[in-house]
Every structure is written in structure tokens, then in C-alpha cells.
Amino acid sequence: MNSTTADHPIALITGGSRGLGRNAALALAGKGSDVIITFHNRNDEAAGVVSQIEALGRRALALQLNVGDSASFAGFARAVADGLATHWGRERFDFLVNNAGVGVHAPFENTDEAQFDQLVNIHLKGVFFLTQTLLPLIADGGRILNVSSGLARFSIPGYAAYASMKGAVEVLSRYLAKELGSRGIAVNTLAPGAIETDFGGGAVRDNVELNAYIASQTALGRVGQPDDIGGVIANLLSPENRWINAQRIEVSGGMFV
């Protein structure tokens, strides 16, 4: 990092109040990062994560954000700038993790425009323009990590629209790596496999048959847990991995290999 970075880096994680985002926030805090998380409408969950991070001895801040509403991004950036100044006496943060998202499961022939537009706004337009808006606040030498999905590599019926957005994010990540390289900002994509969370209604976690099928198709013989992902995110953002750039890193235990 450059001279604007304090001893403890600051990570901003969208959707950090629950699921993989929460796990990543705690893993990063455990490795010495301060954390800004965003939440959509569950302030209580976000406050709980902030308390957990503070219990680990790190500073944290929770800010409300709807990643599907690009018109709100300028105001959000001002809130981030204010939070940095108030809580850290800094003008920039170090790591941006574009994690927030929703799952839509629908056969291709039944996917309607409202579902498609929701996925575009959150997973593609949101990532594109939120990153663009926050660029002035990201420190030179920082990192951007965009969360994709194993579904951008393998195909499971019902995820045509969702996976298409994630495939686009993977292409976007390579372009960001190329265009932001002059500032020393590395950009990578993390692609989790199926994880037992409440994402998409918790189907992977709660549907016994689905869970067993995924485990049978995974080289390590089980379905992923949030703890399998958060530590990877924290490690990818560590100084030791600063030379990893423009890469897609799948964390799926070997699904469909």
C-alpha cells in the first residue's frame, strides 16, 4: 500500500451483514483489517456484525445501501467519505469487496423481464457503477474483489439469468484490472460454489436432496460452508497475495470437475 494507508487496512464489503459477506468481514477483522459493511434493510443484523468486529479489536461501521439503485451511489459515497473521516481520520479505504446479491431460480423459458432487470441492476449495473463511484475513495495500491459464482463455469438449469450476470462480472473484472493497473489496484473475481446459507431462500442448506446431490458432485464430498469462503477472501486481500491480478478463483471444493 502507499503512504496514505494506515497500519490497519480498511475493507468495504457490500452485503456484509449476513451470509458470505458477514463471514468475510469477520475473517478480515481477524487478520487485522477494519471493516465497513453495507446492509439493505436489516440494521439489527448489521449492528451485530459491527459488535463482533469490535470484539475482535478492530473498528467497524455499517452503512445502508441498495446496490440495485445506482441513483443512490453518489450519496452513499459521501457517507463513506464522512465515515472514513469521522472514524479513521482518513480519506480512502483499501479493499472493495462487491459481494451483495440476490438469487433468482427460474427456468429460462419462464424468466420474466422483472427478474432479469433485478439481476442486472444488482449484479452487473450495481457492481459497475458502484465501483466507478467509489474509485476516488480507493487507495492507490488497493484491491477490488468481485464475487461471481461457480455457475459461470458449470451450468445448472434454472440459473441462466443469474449466471449470465456473473459471467459479465468476470469479464468486467479483467477490464478493471487492466484499466486500474496504473494506480496499482489489483482486481480479481472470487467464484464460490454451492454454500449452505440463506441465499436464494436457503435451498442448498435446507433441501436435503439438493444438498446430497451437490455433495455427490463435489470432489471433497460435501457442500460448502460460509467458513470455507470468508478465509479465502481475507487471504486474497493479504499483502502476500498482492501479485494475484485479473484472475478468476473458484472456491467450490471441486464441483463438477
* Cβ-proximal residues to 212 (8 Å cutoff; 6+ apart), any chain: none
Q: In this structure, what C-alpha cell is assigned to residue 158?
A: 434454472
Would you tell me the crossing angle of helices 160-180 and 126-134 to the nearest 10 degrees?
20
* Cβ-proximal residues to 149 (8 Å cutoff; 6+ apart), any chain: 162, 163, 166, 191, 192
CA distances from 31 to 2, 100, 225, 227 (A): 19, 22, 20, 14
78 within 8 A of 2, measured Cβ to Cβ? no
175 is annotated as an active-site residue: no
The SS3 of residue 7 is coil
202 within 8 A of 226, measured Cβ to Cβ? no
Task: Give the DSSP letter of residue 147.
Answer: E
CA distances from 247 to 13, 171, 193, 244, 255 (A): 19, 10, 16, 7, 19
Which residues are 144's β-sheet partners?
A: 96, 187
Task: Give me the catalytic one of 159, 162, 175, 213.
Answer: 162
Residue positions annotated with a catalytic role: 162
